[in-house]
Amino acid sequence: AQSVTQLDSQVPVFEEAPVELRCNYSSSVSVYLFWYVQYPNQGLQLLLKYLSGSTLVKGINGFEAEFNKSQTSFHLRKPSVHISDTAEYFCAGVLVRGGADGLTFGKGTHLIIQP
């Protein structure tokens, strides 16, 4: 992707409440989109990815995201969060073309779960 934007630097939410982390991308050509999560003192772990096909993709730990081409968005959602979801979440994209190019990341969103 040419750019990926995560407008929210942090999102506080109460435990068991739903959450949506926003991601918008900018690209003149097709892109693959990803959400990664970084738990404290760990590396980045892939939550889910959109390559093609169904616009609603399900990932690990109960997360899902919806690709919306008209709104150039790929928001991440979870219906009920847990304390263990406290982490930083990164949206990333790459242009669809031959080869495995490097990812373009958003700035990340800290998800803060309040008991």
Partner 1 sequence: EAGVTQFPSHSVIEKGQTVTLRCDPISGHDNLYWYRRVMGKEIKFLLHFVKESKQDESGMPNNRFLAERTGGTYSTLKVQPAELEDSGVYFCASSAQGDTEAFFGQGTRLTVV
Binding site for partner 1 (CB under 8 A): 4, 32, 36, 41-46, 49, 51, 90, 92, 94, 99-108
Smallest separation, CB 100 to partner 1 (Å): 5
Angle at 84 between CA 13 and CA 9, to 5 degrees: 45
13 or 96, CB closer to partner 1? 96
Check if the beta carbon of residue 11 is closer than 8 Å to that of residue 112: yes
Pairwise CA distance, residues 33 & 26, whole Å: 11
Pairwise CA distance, residues 30 & 11, whole Å: 29
Smallest separation, CB 17 to partner 1 (Å): 27
Count other Cβ atoms within 10 Å, centred on residue 22: 16
30 or 114, CB closer to partner 1? 30
Q: What are the backbone angles phi and psi of residue 60, rounded to the nearest 5°? A: -80, 165
Smallest separation, CB 82 to partner 1 (Å): 23
27 or 105, CB closer to partner 1? 105
98 or 115, CB closer to partner 1? 98
